[in-house]
Amino acid sequence: MEHGSVGAQERENPDPTEVDRPIPWLVLSLVGLLFGWGITYILMQNPKDDPALGDSRTLSTLQAKPAGSPGGAVDGAQIYSAQCVACHQATGAGLPGVFPPLAGSEWVMGSDKVAAAILLHGITGKLTVKGGSYNGQMPAFKDKLNDAEIAAVLSHIRSNFGNAAPKIAPDVVKAEREATRDRKDPWAGDDDLVKLK
Ligand code: HEC
């Protein structure tokens, strides 16, 4: 019994003691170097640069090619499916009694000026389209689409859904935007639009 316990004692490891092991100077100096490099890097940046000038594209580069239109041409069909299809439908037939048809519409194929005015400011109140009466809200697009985009979507609806009217130039939209610049409200249906014709 006594013999056995001595054997057990001999097999034990010595008690652990704390030893002084400083961080190696190499590691310390590497950390110091990194720290110094970081500070220098930050100081060498020029924080007074206007962040808007970060990439060197010019305004004209950006304006020449609106998003999503390779080659820079504005695609009326694309604008129609993004902005109009929900109400006027892919066929341009609208929804009876709710959304008026663009197909065969006298407003679409009539005066280019009036068509531009409708897109810029929207319509509210009683509107007659192809003999049918509507009383809904057509949203204004003056803040959503630029002149070229409005011209493109108008040209699209004037030459699709069986319609055949000449294209509309961005200048017509531009002139109409200028002429109605102070307008805040949508056109009041037939009453306002007939006067525009
Ligand atoms: C939220 C639904 C809605 C959206 C989106 C919408 N419209 Fe309309 N639109 C209407 C309604 C409703 C009228 C009729 C307004 C009334 O009854 O006073 C109308 C009327 C019109 C008219 C005159 C009447 C006719 O049928 O010819 C044209 C042109 C027109 N919209 C074109 C467009 C184009 C182009 C777009 C997309 C850029 C568009 N609309 C987006 C709801 C919409």
Task: Set out the domains of the chain in order of their start, with CATH numbers.
Answer: 90-196 (1.10.760.10)
135 Cα nearest atom in ligand 1: 17
Q: Which amino acid is at 104?
A: G
Residue 72 pLDDT greater than 70, yes or no: no
Task: Give rounded-to-5 percent helix, strand, coil for the chain.
Answer: 50, 10, 45
Protein residue whose Cα sits closest to atom 41 of ligand 1 = 84
Which residue among 78, 79, 80, 88 is best mutated to probe the pocket of ligand 1, counting the most ligand atoms within 8 A of its Cβ?
A: 88
Interval between CA 22 and ligand 1 midpoint (Å)? 78
Q: Is the pTM of this model over 0.75?
A: no
Which ranges in the chain belong to alpha helices (H)? 2-11, 25-44, 59-64, 76-83, 85-88, 106-109, 112-121, 147-158, 170-179, 189-196
pLDDT digits (tens, 9 = 90+) for 101-129: 999 999 999 999 999 999 999 999 999 99
Residue nearest to atom 40 of ligand 1 (CA): 84
Give tens-digit pLDDT for 42-51: 888 876 666 6
- The pLDDT score that the predictor gives to residue 15 is 85
Judged by average pLDDT, the poorest of 7-11, 64-68, 174-178, 187-191 is 64-68
The pLDDT, as a whole number, for residue 57 is 67
Cα 41 to ligand 1 centroid, rounded to whole Å: 56
Task: Collapse the DSSP code of 187 into the 3-class scheme (helix H, G, I; strand E, B; otherwise coil) and give the result.
Answer: strand
Residue with the smallest CA separation from ligand 1 atom 5 is 84
